[in-house]
Structure 1
Amino acid sequence: MKMTIVTDVHGNVLGAIQGHNLTEKKDGVEATVSFAPGHATHMIEVDDDLTTVDDVDEFQQRLRRHLQKHQQP
């Protein structure tokens, strides 16, 4: 599954958005998700079952693991 992970200037995970599209247009209204300067977005593939994780700590840990894999050379 595609997911966009957002990190701050220190690399801390701030959140995640399912998919890679940060803009949505519907019925003539367009909305865009944007982040403060210094924040980074990482568009990566994650496990499909990540959407079923109810525990916040587990969700954050799994996001960090995927992000670390993505950032390896």
Structure 2
Amino acid sequence: MKMTVITDVHGNVLGAVQGHSLSEKKGDVEASVSFAPGHSTHLIDVDDDLSTVDDVDEFQQRLRHHLQQHQQQQP
């Protein structure tokens, strides 16, 4: 599953959304999400079952694990 993870300047996870699209258009209305300077977006692949995790601590731990793997792969 694809997720977009947002981190602050210190690398703290601020949020995550399923998918890689931060904008949508319906008819004549278009909306997009933007973030303050210093925030970063990370487009990552995570385990498909992550969307079914109900425990917040487990979700955050697994999300941080995937984010760390993603960052290690970046040049």
Whether TM-score is above 0.5 comes out as yes
Partner of 1:47 in structure 2? 47
3-state SS of 1:72 partner: helix
- Any unmatched runs of 5+ in structure 1? none
Within 5 Å, give how 1:1-73 maps onto structure 2.
Answer: 1-73=1-73
> What's the Cα RMSD here?
0.9
- When normalised by structure 1's length, the TM-score is 0.94
**Normalised TM-score (structure 2):** 0.91
Deviations 1:2-60 (A, max 9, x none): 10010000001111011111110113211101111100000010000011011111111
Letter in 2 for 1:49: D
Count of aligned residue pairs for this structure pair: 73
Paired letter, 1:47:
D
Q: Which runs of 5+ in 2 are unaligned?
A: none
Which amino acid letter does the alignment assign opposite residue 18 of structure 1? Answer: Q
Query: How many angstroms does 1:69 deviate by?
Result: 0.4
Q: Which structure 1 residue ranges, 4+ long, deviate > 4 Å from structure 2?
A: none
